[in-house]
Amino acid sequence: MAFTGIILMTVRRFALAAAVLAFSMIPVLAQSPAPRATIETSMGNIVIELDAEHTPATVANFERYAREGHFDGTVVYRVAPGFVIQAGSSDAQGNTRDVHDPIPLETAAAGSNLRGTVAMARADDPTSATAEFFINLADNTGLDHQPDDHDNKTGYAVFGHVVEGMDVVDRIAMVPLMGGVGPFPDAAPAMPVTIVKVTIQ
Q: How far apart are CA 172 and CA 189, in angstroms?
A: 9
**For position 57, what pLDDT does the model report?**
98
Please give the angle made by the CA atoms of 67, 69 and 72, to the nearest 5 degrees: 135
Alpha carbon separation from 92 to 5, 41, 75, 95, 131 (Å, rounded): 80, 13, 6, 7, 17
- Is there a single domain that holds both residue 102 and residue 185? yes
**For position 19, what pLDDT does the model report?**
46
User: Could you give the 3-state DSSP secondary structure of residue 41?
Assistant: strand
- Is there a single domain that holds both residue 97 and residue 192? yes
- Is there a single domain that holds both residue 51 and residue 26? no
Tell me, what amino acid is at 22? A
**pLDDT bucket at 7, cuts 50 / 70 / 90:** very low
Domain residues for 14? 1-31
Among left, alpha and beta (phi > 0; psi -120 to 50; other), residue 19 is alpha
Tell me, what amino acid is at 56? P
- Is there a single domain that holds both residue 125 and residue 196? yes
Average pLDDT over residues 137-153: 94
**For position 13, what pLDDT does the model report?**
57
This prediction has a pTM of: 0.85
- Is there a single domain that holds both residue 16 and residue 44? no
Per the prediction, the chain carries an average pLDDT of 89
- Is there a single domain that holds both residue 118 and residue 185? yes
If we measure between CA atoms, which residue out of 108, 65, 109 comes closest to residue 200?
Answer: 65
- Is there a single domain that holds both residue 24 and residue 89? no
